[in-house]
């Protein structure tokens, strides 16, 4: 596939996830935990919601809500699709892998599935914070602290 066709595909996927975000809107279910993130450099704001199983070991659903550029919104949308039905530990691993990828480190892209298309963000340093905003929410999530806040 030629470079121009690849760029066109990249833009189409980003625009599709931006215009039709998957898992957009918070449920605020009993087993859910929300993490708010803000990118001061561009004004992107996002809340990521993790709906955990009763044992709090598996992610039953990941949702998000927020405002921001197409990169941050599309990236969050892709992330929510990837995290359905996996452990919190695996989600944190994938978030780390994603961050390494957009920073230009050599990683196995296969586990990131569709989100691997955002690898090209590494060529635009000003957009890295946009692409990683939702993923950082999961990286920074600490279950014990979240449970304490929810119960107080």
Q: Is 98 exposed, middle or buried (0-12, 13-18, 19+ CB in 10 A)?
A: buried
Domain spanning 3-151, CATH class: alpha beta
Q: Are 118 and 125 in contact (CB under 8 A)?
A: no
CA distances from 121 to 2, 28, 35, 36, 75 (A): 18, 32, 24, 23, 11
Length in residues, the chain: 152
- Cβ partners under 8 Å of residue 103, min gap 6: 122, 128
Domain ranges of the chain: 3-151
**pLDDT number for residue 148:** 73
The model's pTM is 0.91
What number is the average pLDDT over the span 117-140?
94
Q: Are 37 and 134 in contact (CB under 8 A)?
A: yes
**pLDDT number for residue 146:** 83
Q: Is the pLDDT of residue 47 over 90?
A: yes
Q: Is the pLDDT of residue 18 over 80?
A: yes
Q: Is the pLDDT of residue 3 over 70?
A: no
78-106 confidence digits (pLDDT tens): 999 999 999 999 999 999 999 999 999 99
């Amino acid at each position: 596939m030629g470079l121009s066709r690849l760029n066109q595909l990249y833009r189409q996927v980003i625009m599709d996830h931006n215009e039709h975000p998957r898992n957009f809107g918070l449920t605020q279910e009993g087993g859910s935990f929300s993490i708010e993130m803000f990118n001061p450099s561009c004004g992107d704001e996002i809340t990521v919601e993790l709906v955990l199983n009763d044992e709090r070991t598996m992610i039953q659903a990941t949702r998000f809500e927020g405002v921001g550029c197409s990169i941050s919104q599309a990236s969050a949308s892709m992330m929510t699709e990837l995290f359905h039905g996996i452990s919190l530990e695996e989600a944190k691993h994938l978030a780390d892998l994603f961050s390494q990828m957009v920073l230009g480190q050599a990683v196995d892209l296969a586990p990131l599935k569709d989100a691997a298309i955002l690898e090209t963000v590494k060529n635009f340093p000003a957009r890295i914070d946009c692409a990683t905003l939702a993923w950082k929410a999961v990286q920074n999530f600490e279950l014990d602290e979240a449970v304490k806040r929810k119960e107080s």
